[in-house]
Amino acid sequence: MFPRYRLVGYAGLTGSRSLGRLGIGELSTRMEELEERAKPYAVQREVLPVMEMITTIVQSQPGSDGMYRTRATDATIRRYLTKARVHRALLLLNIQPGRADFLEEVRTYDRWLAEPDVGLALDPEWAMGPGQVPGGAFGQTSGTELDSVARHVAGIVARYDLPEKVIVYHQLTPGIVRSEGKLRDRKGVVLVKSIDGIGNRAQKTSTYVRVNKATPDFVHLGFKIFYEEDRRSGRLMTPGQVLKLTPRPDYVMYE
Query: What is the reported pLDDT for 231?
Result: 87
pLDDT for 23: 76
pLDDT at 17: 64
Q: How far is the C-alpha of 190 from the C-alpha of 218, rounded, in Å?
A: 9
What 3 state SS string does the chain have?
Answer: CCCCEEEEEEEEECCEHHHCHHHCCCHHHHHHHHHHHHHHHCCCCEEEEEEEEEEEEECCCCCCCCCCEEECCHHHHHHHHHHHHHCCCEEEEEECCECCCHHHHHHCCHHHHCCCCEEEEECHHHECCCCCCECCECCCEEHHHHHHHHHHHHHHHHHHCCCCEEEEEEECCHHHEECHHHCCCCCCEEEEEEECCCCCHHHHHHHHHHHHCCCCCCCEEEEEECHHHHHCCCCCCCHHHHCCCCCCCCEEEEC
The vertex-168 CA angle with 5 and 62, nearest 5°, equals 150
pLDDT score at 18: 65
Is residue 143 within 8 A of residue 167, CB to CB? The reply is: no
CA distances to 115, 243, 252 from 84, in Å = 12, 25, 17
Q: What is the pLDDT along the chain (255 residues), one digit of tens a residue?
A: 999 999 999 998 866 666 678 878 889 999 999 999 999 999 999 999 999 999 999 998 999 899 999 999 999 999 999 999 999 999 999 999 999 999 999 999 999 999 999 999 999 999 998 888 888 888 999 999 999 999 999 999 999 999 999 999 999 999 999 999 999 999 999 999 999 999 999 999 999 999 999 999 999 999 999 988 888 988 999 999 999 999 999 999 998
pLDDT given at position 222? 98
pTM: 0.95
Instruction: Give 82-113 pLDDT, tens digit per residue.
Output: 999 999 999 999 999 999 999 999 999 999 99
Predicted local confidence at residue 22, as pLDDT: 83
